[in-house]
C-alpha cells in the first residue's frame, strides 16, 4: 500500500527533496516519460526505471555519446535506479508486481492492451493499491482516429497545427528545432501527478491520468492556432498576431561578420528608446498603439527593416550586442548550441552542472531550474547503468529507502 502522509513527513528533511518517500515505477522510454520521472526524482522521489534486458530504453542508443553512453539518455534519467526485467518472464513479472504493490506512482507509455495483458494496468493495480497514481503517456491518447499511431514529436506538431503556424497552406514548413510535443506532455504529466498526489493526501484515493502529447501541445497552441479559434467562433476575424517573420521589429538579422542577432523591439517604448540610441528619431511613430505591437507595421515596415538591416550590417555581432545590452535593448546573439553552453549568462545562471558517472567520469548535464528553490534533493546521481539496481529491486523488500 502507498505510504501514509505521516510516513512521508518523516523523510522530508532539508536536502531530501519535496517528494522524498514517494515511490515511482517508470515503464516509459524515450523522452516524455523519462523527463517527467527525472523531475520527480530531482524532487526527491525514488524512481525505479524498468527496462528490457539487453536493450533497455531506446534512448540509451541515441547519439551523440560522451565516451560510451548517450548524452541524451544521461540528461533525462538522472537520480533513477534501473531494473532490467523481462515482463514476459514470470519471475521478473512477479518482481514488478511487488514493486507496484507499494508504489505511489506508475508511469507507462505502452501500446493499448499491453498493460492489461501483463496485469500492470490501473484497474489491476488499484485492487491491491487503491491509492496508486497511474499516468499513461501516449502520442494521441486512448480515443480518436489517431489513437493507435505511435507518438513522435514531428507528427504531433504536424497534427496540432503548430508546425504550419504562420505559413500559407502550400508552404513547406521547416522541421522543428525543439521537441515541443514531448516536453508539453512531460510537463502536463508532472502537473497531473503532483495534483493527484495532493488530492490523495486529502481523500486517500488514487487517480488514472490519460496524458497525450497531442492534447498537451494543443493546449499550448493558443497563439499559433489563435486565428483558427477566431474562425471557429463564426464571428468576424481580425488579422493574425504577427510572430512569423512579417514584423521587422521581431526578426533575425545578419551582422557584418556573418553571425546573426535576434531583434525583439515590440513595445513602442522600447522601439522609441532604440531609435533614439541609433540616431533615427525619424522612425518614431507617435500614434503607435498597443494594437500595432504584433503586426507587420504596414507601410512603415520597409523603413524599419532597412534601418535595422543597415545597423546590423555595420557591426560584428558581439560588438553590436555589447552596445545593445549596455543600453538594455533586446537585441541578442543567435547562439549555436556550443556558444549557448559557453555563454556568460549560462554560466551566471548555473544552467550546466557536473555529475560523476561510473563509466564516463565527470559529465555535464542540464541543471534543474528549481535548484535554488529548496525543493530538490541536495545532490543529483547520474543516469543508471542498465540493470544496475536489479539486486535491490529484486529482493523481497525492493523499496529500501535510497540515500537522499
Other CB atoms within 10 Å distance of the CB of residue 127: 8
Rounded to 5 degrees, φ, ψ at 25 are -105, 120
pLDDT at 8 over 50: no
pLDDT at 167 over 90: no
What mean pLDDT comes out for the span 284-292? 90
Banded pLDDT at 397 (limits 50, 70, 90): low
The pLDDT value given to residue 227: 82
pLDDT at 3 over 60: no
Where along the chain do its domains lie? 5-220+349-393, 260-333
Strands 250-254 and 260-264, sheet pairing: antiparallel
Which cell numbers hold the place of 232?
Answer: 471557429
List the one residue out of 379, 389, 377 whose CA is nearest residue 81: 389
| Tens-place pLDDT, residues 249-267 | 999 999 999 999 999 999 9
Banded pLDDT at 1 (limits 50, 70, 90): very low
114: left (phi over 0), alpha (psi -120 to 50) or beta: alpha
pTM: 0.91
Query: Is residue 98 within 8 Å of 397, Cβ to Cβ?
Result: no
Any bridge partners for residue 138, and if so which?
Answer: 212
pLDDT at 6 over 90: no
297: left (phi over 0), alpha (psi -120 to 50) or beta: left
Rounded to 5 degrees, φ, ψ at 280 are -125, 55
**Worst-scoring range by mean pLDDT, 34-43, 110-119, 127-136, 264-273?**
110-119
Query: Is residue 228 within 8 Å of 155, Cβ to Cβ?
Result: no
Which cell numbers hold the place of 356?
Answer: 560523476
Banded pLDDT at 400 (limits 50, 70, 90): low
Architecture per CATH, 5-220+349-393 = 3-Layer(aba) Sandwich (3.40)
| Tens-place pLDDT, residues 218-248 | 999 988 888 888 888 887 666 777 888 889 9
The pLDDT value given to residue 58: 93
Query: Is residue 70 within 8 Å of 63, Cβ to Cβ?
Result: yes
* 7 or 251, higher pLDDT: 251
Question: What is the C-alpha to C-alpha distance for residues 8 and 374, in angstroms, rounded to an integer?
Answer: 17
Contacts of 242 (CB under 8 A, 6+ apart): 250, 294, 295, 296
* 3-state class (DSSP) for residue 210: strand
Rounded to 5 degrees, φ, ψ at 359 are -105, -40
Q: Which DSSP symbol is given to 265?
A: -
The pLDDT value given to residue 242: 80
pLDDT at 395 over 80: no
Positive or negative, the CA dihedral 272, 277, 280, 282 is: positive
The pLDDT value given to residue 399: 67
What mean pLDDT comes out for the span 326-354? 96
The pLDDT value given to residue 172: 87
What mean pLDDT comes out for the span 328-333? 98
Amino acid at each position: 500500500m502507498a505510504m501514509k502522509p505521516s510516513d512521508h513527513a518523516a523523510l522530508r528533511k532539508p536536502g531530501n527533496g519535496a517528494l522524498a518517500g514517494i515511490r515511482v515505477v517508470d515503464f516509459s522510454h524515450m523522452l516524455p516519460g523519462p523527463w517527467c520521472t527525472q523531475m520527480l526524482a530531482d524532487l526527491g522521489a525514488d524512481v525505479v526505471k524498468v527496462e528490457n534486458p539487453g536493450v533497455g530504453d531506446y534512448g540509451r542508443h541515441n547519439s551523440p555519446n560522451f565516451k560510451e553512453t548517450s548524452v541524451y539518455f544521461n540528461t533525462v534519467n538522472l537520480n533513477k535506479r534501473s531494473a532490467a526485467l523481462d515482463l514476459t518472464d514470470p519471475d521478473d513479472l512477479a518482481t514488478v508486481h511487488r514493486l507496484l504493490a507499494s508504489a505511489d506512482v506508475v508511469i507507462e507509455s505502452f501500446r493499448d492492451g499491453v498493460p492489461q495483458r501483463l496485469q500492470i494496468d490501473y484497474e489491476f493495480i488499484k485492487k491491491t493499491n487503491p491509492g496508486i497514481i497511474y499516468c499513461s503517456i501516449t502520442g494521441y491518447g486512448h480515443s480518436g482516429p489517431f489513437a493507435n499511431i505511435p507518438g513522435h514529436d514531428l507528427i504531433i506538431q504536424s497534427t496540432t497545427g503548430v508546425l504550419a503556424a504562420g505559413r500559407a497552406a502550400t508552404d513547406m514548413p521547416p522541421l522543428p528545432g525543439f521537441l515541443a510535443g514531448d516536453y508539453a506532455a512531460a510537463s502536463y504529466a508532472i502537473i497531473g501527478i503532483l495534483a493527484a498526489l495532493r488530492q490523495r493526501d486529502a481523500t486517500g484515493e488514487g487517480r488514472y491520468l490519460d496524458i497525450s502529447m497531442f492534447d498537451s501541445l494543443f493546449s499550448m497552441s493558443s497563439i499559433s492556432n489563435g486565428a483558427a479559434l477566431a474562425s471557429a467562433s463564426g464571428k468576424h476575424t481580425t488579422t493574425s498576431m504577427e510572430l512569423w517573420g512579417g514584423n521587422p521589429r521581431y526578426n533575425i538579422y545578419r551582422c557584418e561578420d556573418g553571425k546573426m542577432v535576434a531583434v525583439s523591439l515590440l513595445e513602442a517604448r522600447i522601439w522609441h528608446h532604440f531609435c533614439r540610441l541609433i540616431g533615427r528619431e525619424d522612425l518614431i511613430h507617435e500614434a503607435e498603439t498597443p494594437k500595432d505591437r504584433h503586426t507587420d507595421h504596414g507601410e512603415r515596415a520597409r523603413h524599419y527593416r532597412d534601418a535595422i538591416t543597415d545597423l546590423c550590417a555595420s557591426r560584428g555581432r558581439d560588438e553590436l550586442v555589447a552596445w545593445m545590452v549596455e543600453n538594455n535593448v533586446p537585441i541578442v546573439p543567435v547562439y549555436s548550441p556550443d556558444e549557448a553552453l559557453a555563454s556568460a549568462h549560462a554560466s551566471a545562471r548555473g544552467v550546466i552542472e557536473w555529475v560523476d558517472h561510473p563509466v564516463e567520469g565527470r559529465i555535464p548535464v542540464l541543471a534543474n531550474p528549481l535548484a535554488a528553490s529548496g525543493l530538490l534533493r541536495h545532490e543529483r546521481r547520474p543516469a543508471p547503468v542498465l540493470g544496475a539496481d536489479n539486486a535491490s529491486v529484486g529482493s523481497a523488500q525492493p523499496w529500501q529507502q535510497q540515500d537522499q
